[in-house]
Structure 1
Amino acid sequence: MRIGCPTEIKNHEYRVGLTPESARELVLRGNEVWIQSGAGLGIGATDDQYRAAGATIVDGPDPIFAECEMVVKVKEPQAGERAKLREGQLLYTYLHLAPDPEQTADLVKSGVTAIAYETVTGPNNSLPLLKPMSQVAGRMSIQAGASALEKAHGGRGVLLGGVPGVLPGRVMVIGGGVVGFNAAQMAVGLGADVTILDRDPEVLERLGTHFESRAKTRFSNMANIEQMIGEAELVIGAVLIPGAAAPKLVTREMLPLMKPGAVLVDVAIDQGGCFETSKPTTHAEPTYVIDNIVHYCVANMPGAVARTSTYALNNVTLPHALRMAELGWKEALRQNAHLAEGLNVHAGKVTYKAVADELGYDYLPTADALA
């Protein structure tokens, strides 16, 4: 199979879909790999390193979109990239379609077969291709929030860990999954006063056992959210419903309850965000202020630590890419029900129910698409 990897063009996105090591694994199994010149520079990977791995370097993205059977990316294709996709081509990347009707419409129109990293499942309903980026984003959320809390950045002027004789900052983490757990780990490590909210009693029990007295847990309901949001200096939105738009758990009416200069970090912004006042931002302009509350809503947070993120991502995406290249995407999905959950769009149809329901498309079950 001919597999192509273009340069990411989203604002301040430095990750790359294939590392030189991943390209080598694909080539060793008889595939042809095309890499856009300069695609790996954001992680310190040069064209010569890709050539040494057996890849072909091409100028610009056009040859990849025009001639490669599989296109491997990191972020959702931007409008200019979507215009280059074609019927019968396989797109393998993060998509986050539910809050993005324009992207969904373009993918449906193109006839492409699109497999989304974020909906590929694993044992016990896990999301193994999303997990490493959730780990990165969760940890980064505390770094970003701590910076946004600085007075020079518009924040309240609070040091999360405090100092002797001065109370630490209060951190509220909404959601106890992978993002929330990693955010809490970082906040606890800084010495902050941390409370994690979740609706699953088993999750709360697991978090309580892990953190013991270093972090508190509370059941997530509107009463507890309203109380805690008035006490917190930093609120992390870490709620995910696989493939669907995130629920709006903090409303505009709640903002006056918060301390002036407090910070909201919405890690769920890729799925529309879990704060009503959230809107996507970029690493170039990461924050904005509404009602004296600083909002940090960068939609590709892990792109700022591109090398760590790319290698963590390739560890989990490469095995599926190898199988699809070896067997063809249809047979690979037939043999692996977890990978089949990643199919979001095929031949002009939406094949992921949560996306179809959210955006009003007729739903084509994956089994029918594979028939």
Structure 2
Amino acid sequence: MIVGVPKEIKNNESRVGMTPAGVFELVKNNHAVYVQSGAGEGSGFFDEDYQQVGATILNTIQEIYAISEMIVKVKEPIAEEYPLVKKGQIVFTYFHFASSEALTKAMINSGATCIAYETVEDEDGTLPLLTPMSEVAGRMAIQQGAKYLEKPKKGRGVLLGGVPGVAPGKVLVLGAGTVGIQAAKMAAGLGAHVTILDVNMKRLRYVNDVMPSHVVTEFSNEFNIRKHIKTHDLIIGGVLIKGAKAPKLISEEMLSDMRPGTVIVDVAVDQGGCIETTKPTTHEDPTYIINDVVHYCVANMPGAVPYTSTVALTNVTLPYVLKLANMGWRSACNLDKSLSKGLNIVEGEIVYKEITEAFNLEPVLV
């Protein structure tokens, strides 16, 4: 199969869809790999690194899309890429379709087969291709939140860990999934007081078992959320419903209950955000303020640490890329039920129920 790795062109996205190690494995399996010139530079991988393992370097993104049977990338195609995606092509990337009707319609019109990293699902319900980026984003959420709590960044002026004689900052984590647990771990490591909310008691019991005593768990409901937002300095939105829009747990009206300079980091922004006032931002301009509350809603947080993120992503995507390249998408998905859950749009037809629900469309079964 001919596999293409384009340069990411989303604002401040420095990751790349595949490391040279990944390319090496594809070439070893007799596949042709074309990498756009400069695609890996942001992650510390250069054209010669790819050439040394057998890739061919092409200069433009148009050439990559034109020649490739399968595109492997990191983020969803943006508007200027829509016309480049072609009928019969496999596009394997993070899509988050439920948050963008324009992207969904563009991929339907393209006639391509779109396999979304974020909906590949193992038998136990875990999301193996989303997990490493959720781990990165969860940890980063505390780094960024701690920074934006500083007064020059318009935050409350609170040091999360406190100092002797001064109480530590308080962190409220919405969701005890991968993002929430990694955020809680980082916040606890800094010495902050952490409250983590979820509706899944199994997850809360797990958190209670593995976290130190200054991480406390509570059942998630509106009453408890309203209670905690009044006293917590940093709020992390880490709620995920597989393939669907995130529920809005904090309304705009609730911001008035927060103290000026409170910081919200909504990691769920890729799926529409779990805060009503969430709107996607970029690393170039990451925050905005509503009702004196600082919102950090960067839609590609792991893109700020591209080396770590790219290596972590290729570690988990490569086995699936090899299956798709070796067998084609139909045979690969028939044999691998986890991979088949990644099918979102097949040759112009939506086949993932949550997307149809997001836009009131009819699903097609494959």
TM-score per shorter chain, which class?
over 0.9
1:154-211 Cα deviation digits (max 9, x unpaired): 1110000001101110000000000000000000000001000010111111100111
Q: Which amino acid aligns with 2:276?
A: E
SS of the residue corresponding to residue 227 of structure 1 reads helix
> Whole-Å Cα distance in 1 between the matches of residues 211 and 70 of structure 2?
43
1:214-233 Cα deviation digits (max 9, x unpaired): 30000000000000011100
- State whether residues 349 and 362 of structure 1, in contact with CA within 8 Å, keep that contact through their aligned partners in structure 2: no
SS of the residue corresponding to residue 34 of structure 1 reads strand
Q: Give the superposition deviation at 1:361.
A: 1.8
SS of the residue corresponding to residue 98 of structure 2 reads coil
Alignment partner, residue 332 of structure 2:
332
> Whole-Å Cα distance in 2 between the matches of residues 9 and 276 of structure 1?
28
What are the equivalent positions in structure 2 for 1:254-333 lying under 5 Å apart? 254-333=254-333
SS of the residue corresponding to residue 213 of structure 1 reads coil
> Whole-Å Cα distance in 2 between the matches of residues 337 and 110 of structure 1?
25
> Whole-Å Cα distance in 2 between the matches of residues 46 and 277 of structure 1?
39
1:132-164 Cα deviation digits (max 9, x unpaired): 000000000000100110100111100000011
Q: Give the superposition deviation at 1:73.
A: 0.4
Q: Give the superposition deviation at 1:212.
A: 4.0
Alignment partner, residue 148 of structure 1:
148
1:309-367 Cα deviation digits (max 9, x unpaired): 000000010000001111111000000111000000111111100001111221012xx
Q: Which amino acid aligns with 1:149?
A: L
Q: Give the superposition deviation at 1:17.
A: 0.3
The TM-score with structure 2 as length reference comes to 0.99
Q: Give the superposition deviation at 1:43.
A: 1.0
SS of the residue corresponding to residue 13 of structure 1 reads coil
Alignment partner, residue 45 of structure 1:
45
> Whole-Å Cα distance in 1 between the matches of residues 202 and 98 of structure 2?
28
- Would you say 1:164 and 2:167 are equivalent positions? no
- State whether residues 14 and 42 of structure 1, in contact with CA within 8 Å, keep that contact through their aligned partners in structure 2: yes
Alignment partner, residue 217 of structure 1:
217
SS of the residue corresponding to residue 12 of structure 1 reads coil
> Whole-Å Cα distance in 2 between the matches of residues 355 and 269 of structure 1?
16
Q: Give the superposition deviation at 1:83.
A: 1.2
- Would you say 1:67 and 2:64 are equivalent positions? no
Alignment partner, residue 135 of structure 1:
135
**Identity value in percent:** 52
- State whether residues 111 and 347 of structure 1, in contact with CA within 8 Å, keep that contact through their aligned partners in structure 2: yes
> Whole-Å Cα distance in 1 between the matches of residues 348 and 134 of structure 2?
30
Alignment partner, residue 244 of structure 2:
244
- State whether residues 95 and 118 of structure 1, in contact with CA within 8 Å, keep that contact through their aligned partners in structure 2: yes
Q: Which amino acid aligns with 1:203?
A: R
SS of the residue corresponding to residue 228 of structure 2 reads helix
> Whole-Å Cα distance in 2 between the matches of residues 356 and 34 of structure 1?
34
Alignment partner, residue 355 of structure 1:
355
SS of the residue corresponding to residue 84 of structure 2 reads coil
Aligned residues: 366
> Whole-Å Cα distance in 2 between the matches of residues 123 and 186 of structure 1?
29
Alignment partner, residue 24 of structure 1:
24
> Whole-Å Cα distance in 2 between the matches of residues 346 and 333 of structure 1?
12
Q: Which amino acid aligns with 2:122?
A: G
> Whole-Å Cα distance in 2 between the matches of residues 88 and 64 of structure 1?
15
Alignment partner, residue 233 of structure 2:
233
Alignment partner, residue 95 of structure 1:
95
Alignment partner, residue 13 of structure 1:
13
> Whole-Å Cα distance in 1 between the matches of residues 149 and 285 of structure 2?
16
Q: Give the 4+ runs in structure 1 shifted more than 4 A.
A: none
> Whole-Å Cα distance in 2 between the matches of residues 257 and 361 of structure 1?
38
Q: Which amino acid aligns with 1:311?
A: V
Q: Give the superposition deviation at 1:67.
A: 1.4
SS of the residue corresponding to residue 289 of structure 1 reads strand
- State whether residues 7 and 39 of structure 2, in contact with CA within 8 Å, keep that contact through their aligned partners in structure 1: yes
> Whole-Å Cα distance in 2 between the matches of residues 333 and 155 of structure 1?
48
> Whole-Å Cα distance in 1 between the matches of residues 144 and 51 of structure 2?
36
> Whole-Å Cα distance in 2 between the matches of residues 329 and 159 of structure 1?
50
> Whole-Å Cα distance in 1 between the matches of residues 236 and 58 of structure 2?
41
Alignment partner, residue 111 of structure 1:
111
> Whole-Å Cα distance in 1 between the matches of residues 343 and 123 of structure 2?
17
Q: Which amino acid aligns with 1:53?
A: V
Alignment partner, residue 35 of structure 2:
35
> Whole-Å Cα distance in 2 between the matches of residues 291 and 148 of structure 1?
16
> Whole-Å Cα distance in 2 between the matches of residues 264 and 50 of structure 1?
39
SS of the residue corresponding to residue 118 of structure 1 reads helix
1:19-65 Cα deviation digits (max 9, x unpaired): 11100100000000000000000111111110001000001111111
> Whole-Å Cα distance in 2 between the matches of residues 190 and 358 of structure 1?
38
Q: Which amino acid aligns with 2:360?
A: G
> Whole-Å Cα distance in 2 between the matches of residues 212 and 206 of structure 1?
12
> Whole-Å Cα distance in 2 between the matches of residues 82 and 2 of structure 1?
20
SS of the residue corresponding to residue 54 of structure 2 reads coil
> Whole-Å Cα distance in 2 between the matches of residues 85 and 361 of structure 1?
22
